[in-house]
Amino acid sequence: MGQFWERGQLILEILRGWPLRLLDGVLVVLLVYTILVLIGERRTLWMVRGFIVLLLASTISRNVGLALLAFVLDKLVIGSAVAMAFILQGEFRRLLEQIGRGRLGQLLVIADREMMTSQPDNVIDELVDAIKELSQNRIGALIIVETDRPIDERDFSVPGVKLNAEVSRELLQTIFQTSTLLHDGAVLVRGTRVVAAGVILPISERSASRQLGTRHRAAMGITERVEDCICLVVSEETGSISVAEGGRLIRPLTSSKLRELLSARLSLSADRDSVTPQLRSLSKRLRSQGRSLLQRLPFFSSSASRGKK
């Protein structure tokens, strides 16, 4: 009799705690969903998966009683968390800012839209045609093309003037005419849009050839600071075409070589393994299944029928 009483008490304690366990599980699922939505790049996603595996292994080893292994895994988890804080500092900064403003839902919508953005072939054609014309006329130009995540404006010396216009060779050629007010700065291209013009970039501190002007050093400077972009440069003196990537210049380039390089770089960013579409379709399926399940419940169906009447 005593054993049955103890088992009954144990079952009651478990049942009393199930709402908290359910809430705990729901919060963990929401947190993982948020992380997966914010992260769309394949290598970063693998890194987060590795961190989650380490965390789970540490928790399991601690519960099983493997004290030494749990100690080592705990240290690895702490070190991995610190490393990820440095590597993903832009994402963490944006997440904390939006949480502080109470705009977490807006952050997820922005991240979803940004990960779905890709560079179609006609944008590459417009860029190459504009660069070719500017090179033939020996008109200096500096164009930043984002390849993955949006560039933080704090990485610029001066953010420039907002445009938000469709990319076209006529617009780019007009901006870099010496008679316009914005020709001295850089143009920022994001997806299919010219986001800003007249952007002032930080100058590279690396030792470079004396033949390189301010535009080339600015292109090297922004690509040193930001990995997710390439910079197209047209020399005003010689009309030569250069591309800056990772703080290094690829020069001189022909228009055909420039087209090949842009197609290779931008196709890599467009083909990255984004998890957002699958998550969105999964959330829609879960929502529809949840509605159908609620409608099958007696209380919900009776109240719905009363509402219709």
Residue-wise pLDDT for 17-62, tens only, equals 666 667 776 777 777 666 666 555 555 666 777 777 888 888 888 8
Q: What angle, rounded to 10 degrees, do the helices at 276-296 and 2-38 form? A: 140
End-to-end, the C-alpha distance of the chain in Å comes to 53
Strands 141-146 and 186-190: parallel
Q: Where are the domains of the chain?
A: 2-116, 121-269
3-state DSSP assignment of residue 188? strand
Judge whether 144 and 233 are in contact, CB under 8 Å. no
Cross-sheet strand order for the sheet of 186-190: 161-166, 193-199, 186-190, 141-146, 229-234, 241-245, 248-253
Rounded to whole angstroms, the Cα distance separating 92 from 199 reads: 25
Q: What is the pTM of this model?
A: 0.54
Q: Say how far apart CA 243 and CA 250 lie, in whole Å.
A: 5
Percentage above 90 pLDDT, the chain = 23
Within its chain, how far is the Cα of 292 from the centroid? 35
Residues 6+ apart with CB under 8 A from 76: 54, 58
Confidence of residue 269 (pLDDT cuts 50, 70, 90): low
CA torsion 161-110-218-85 (nearest 10°) is 140
- The H or E element that residue 244 is part of is strand 241-245
Question: Across residues 104-123, what is the average pLDDT?
Answer: 54
In the CATH scheme, what is the homologous superfamily, with its name and number, of domain 121-269?
Answer: DNA integrity scanning protein, DisA, N-terminal domain (3.40.1700.10)
Question: Which residues lie closer than 8 Å to 34 by C-beta, 6 or more apart?
Answer: 104, 108
Category of 164 on φ-ψ map: left (φ > 0), alpha (ψ -120 to 50) or beta = left
pLDDT tens-digit series, residues 238-267: 899 999 998 889 988 999 999 999 888 876
CB 232 within 8 A of CB 259: no
Distance CA 48, CA 55 (A): 11
Worst-scoring range by mean pLDDT, 179-193, 259-273, 277-291?
277-291
Average pLDDT over residues 274-284: 48
Which pLDDT does position 102 carry in this prediction?
64
